[in-house]
Amino acid sequence: MKQAPSFTLSSVQTKESWSLDQCMGQAVMLTFWTSWCPDSRVDLSLKQRLFQAMDQSKLQMIMVNVTARERIEDVESFVNEQGYTFPVLLDEGRTVYDLYDCKGVPTTVLLNSHHEVVSVFGEQASFQEVTEGLVPLLT
Protein backbone atom coordinates (compact mmCIF):
# COMPACT_ATOMS: atom_id res chain seq x y z
CA MET A 1 0.00 0.00 0.00
CA LYS A 2 1.06 3.55 -0.72
CA GLN A 3 1.91 5.84 2.18
CA ALA A 4 -0.42 8.86 2.32
CA PRO A 5 1.30 12.18 1.69
CA SER A 6 1.58 14.21 4.88
CA PHE A 7 0.21 17.75 4.95
CA THR A 8 -0.62 20.66 7.24
CA LEU A 9 -3.57 22.96 6.49
CA SER A 10 -5.58 25.64 8.27
CA SER A 11 -8.88 24.76 9.95
CA VAL A 12 -11.93 26.77 8.87
CA GLN A 13 -13.49 26.49 12.33
CA THR A 14 -10.51 27.06 14.65
CA LYS A 15 -8.09 28.94 12.31
CA GLU A 16 -5.34 26.68 13.69
CA SER A 17 -3.03 24.46 11.67
CA TRP A 18 -4.01 20.82 11.45
CA SER A 19 -1.56 18.14 10.39
CA LEU A 20 -2.24 14.61 9.23
CA ASP A 21 0.60 13.53 11.52
CA GLN A 22 -1.54 14.57 14.53
CA CYS A 23 -3.70 11.47 14.15
CA MET A 24 -1.05 8.83 13.47
CA GLY A 25 -2.34 5.53 14.81
CA GLN A 26 -5.90 6.42 13.83
CA ALA A 27 -7.81 5.65 10.62
CA VAL A 28 -8.66 8.75 8.56
CA MET A 29 -11.33 9.65 6.02
CA LEU A 30 -10.31 12.60 3.83
CA THR A 31 -12.96 14.13 1.61
CA PHE A 32 -12.07 16.77 -0.98
CA TRP A 33 -15.03 19.01 -1.89
CA THR A 34 -16.34 22.34 -3.19
CA SER A 35 -19.49 24.25 -2.25
CA TRP A 36 -20.78 24.63 -5.82
CA CYS A 37 -20.82 20.89 -6.55
CA PRO A 38 -24.25 19.28 -5.92
CA ASP A 39 -22.61 15.88 -5.37
CA SER A 40 -20.29 17.40 -2.75
CA ARG A 41 -23.26 18.92 -0.92
CA VAL A 42 -25.14 15.61 -0.79
CA ASP A 43 -21.97 13.76 0.23
CA LEU A 44 -21.13 16.20 3.03
CA SER A 45 -24.70 16.10 4.35
CA LEU A 46 -24.51 12.30 4.64
CA LYS A 47 -21.03 12.48 6.16
CA GLN A 48 -22.28 14.99 8.74
CA ARG A 49 -24.85 12.42 9.90
CA LEU A 50 -22.15 9.74 10.01
CA PHE A 51 -19.82 12.05 11.94
CA GLN A 52 -22.50 12.71 14.57
CA ALA A 53 -23.36 9.01 14.97
CA MET A 54 -19.91 7.40 14.95
CA ASP A 55 -17.25 6.83 17.58
CA GLN A 56 -14.82 9.60 16.66
CA SER A 57 -11.98 7.93 18.55
CA LYS A 58 -11.96 5.18 15.89
CA LEU A 59 -11.96 7.38 12.77
CA GLN A 60 -10.80 10.91 12.06
CA MET A 61 -13.07 12.53 9.45
CA ILE A 62 -11.49 15.50 7.69
CA MET A 63 -13.14 17.52 4.91
CA VAL A 64 -10.75 19.47 2.68
CA ASN A 65 -12.18 22.40 0.71
CA VAL A 66 -10.36 22.68 -2.62
CA THR A 67 -9.93 26.46 -2.68
CA ALA A 68 -8.55 26.58 -6.23
CA ARG A 69 -11.81 25.04 -7.49
CA GLU A 70 -14.08 27.03 -5.15
CA ARG A 71 -16.45 29.77 -6.29
CA ILE A 72 -17.26 31.39 -2.95
CA GLU A 73 -15.08 33.73 -0.94
CA ASP A 74 -16.28 32.79 2.53
CA VAL A 75 -16.09 29.04 3.10
CA GLU A 76 -16.50 29.57 6.85
CA SER A 77 -19.98 31.11 6.37
CA PHE A 78 -20.96 28.21 4.10
CA VAL A 79 -19.76 25.63 6.65
CA ASN A 80 -21.71 27.40 9.42
CA GLU A 81 -24.87 27.73 7.29
CA GLN A 82 -24.78 24.02 6.49
CA GLY A 83 -24.26 23.12 10.15
CA TYR A 84 -21.12 21.03 9.53
CA THR A 85 -19.39 20.07 12.75
CA PHE A 86 -16.68 17.80 11.33
CA PRO A 87 -13.27 19.42 10.84
CA VAL A 88 -12.99 21.43 7.60
CA LEU A 89 -9.58 22.39 6.26
CA LEU A 90 -8.69 24.82 3.48
CA ASP A 91 -6.43 23.43 0.78
CA GLU A 92 -3.72 25.79 -0.44
CA GLY A 93 -5.14 26.08 -3.95
CA ARG A 94 -5.02 22.46 -5.12
CA THR A 95 -1.86 21.40 -3.31
CA VAL A 96 -3.22 18.53 -1.21
CA TYR A 97 -5.89 17.69 -3.81
CA ASP A 98 -3.07 17.15 -6.31
CA LEU A 99 -0.87 15.28 -3.79
CA TYR A 100 -3.68 12.74 -3.49
CA ASP A 101 -4.11 12.61 -7.29
CA CYS A 102 -7.78 13.59 -7.16
CA LYS A 103 -9.68 13.83 -10.44
CA GLY A 104 -12.89 15.50 -9.27
CA VAL A 105 -15.07 16.40 -6.30
CA PRO A 106 -16.11 14.88 -4.09
CA THR A 107 -13.22 12.47 -3.70
CA THR A 108 -12.89 10.41 -0.52
CA VAL A 109 -9.60 8.80 0.50
CA LEU A 110 -9.51 6.21 3.29
CA LEU A 111 -6.31 5.75 5.27
CA ASN A 112 -5.55 2.97 7.73
CA SER A 113 -4.01 3.64 11.14
CA HIS A 114 -0.53 3.61 9.57
CA HIS A 115 -1.74 6.28 7.11
CA GLU A 116 -1.48 4.03 4.09
CA VAL A 117 -4.03 4.67 1.32
CA VAL A 118 -6.54 1.83 1.54
CA SER A 119 -9.24 3.12 -0.84
CA VAL A 120 -10.02 6.08 -3.08
CA PHE A 121 -13.61 6.85 -4.03
CA GLY A 122 -14.08 9.29 -6.90
CA GLU A 123 -16.98 11.56 -7.66
CA GLN A 124 -19.16 8.70 -8.99
CA ALA A 125 -18.89 6.57 -5.83
CA SER A 126 -21.99 6.20 -3.69
CA PHE A 127 -22.06 6.95 0.03
CA GLN A 128 -22.80 3.26 0.59
CA GLU A 129 -19.58 2.28 -1.22
CA VAL A 130 -17.61 4.66 0.99
CA THR A 131 -19.18 3.36 4.20
CA GLU A 132 -18.55 -0.23 3.12
CA GLY A 133 -14.90 0.76 2.61
CA LEU A 134 -14.78 1.87 6.24
CA VAL A 135 -15.66 -1.55 7.64
CA PRO A 136 -12.13 -3.05 7.56
CA LEU A 137 -10.70 0.14 9.08
CA LEU A 138 -13.05 0.09 12.04
CA THR A 139 -12.99 -3.60 12.96
Q: Is residue 112 part of a domain?
A: yes
Structural domains in the chain (count): 1
- The phi, psi pair for 21, rounded to 5°, reads -60, -20
Bridge pairing between strands 17-19 and 8-11: antiparallel
Distance, in Å, from the CA atom of 97 to the CA atom of 79, rounded to the nearest integer, reads 19
Q: Is residue 2 part of a domain?
A: no
In this prediction, residue 110 has a pLDDT band, given cuts at 50, 70 and 90, of very high
Q: Is residue 103 part of a domain?
A: yes
Distance, in Å, from the CA atom of 97 to the CA atom of 63, rounded to the nearest integer, reads 11
- The answer to whether the beta carbons of residues 22 and 75 sit under 8 Å apart is no
Across all residues in the chain, what is the average pLDDT? 96
pTM: predicted TM-score of the whole model, two decimal places: 0.96
Q: Which domain holds residue 62?
A: 8-138
In whole angstroms, how far apart are CA 75 and each of 13, 58, 96, 122?
Answer: 10, 27, 17, 22
The pLDDT tens digits of the residues spanning 44-68 come to 999 999 999 998 899 999 999 999 9
User: What is the CATH classification number for the domain harbouring 28?
Assistant: 3.40.30.10
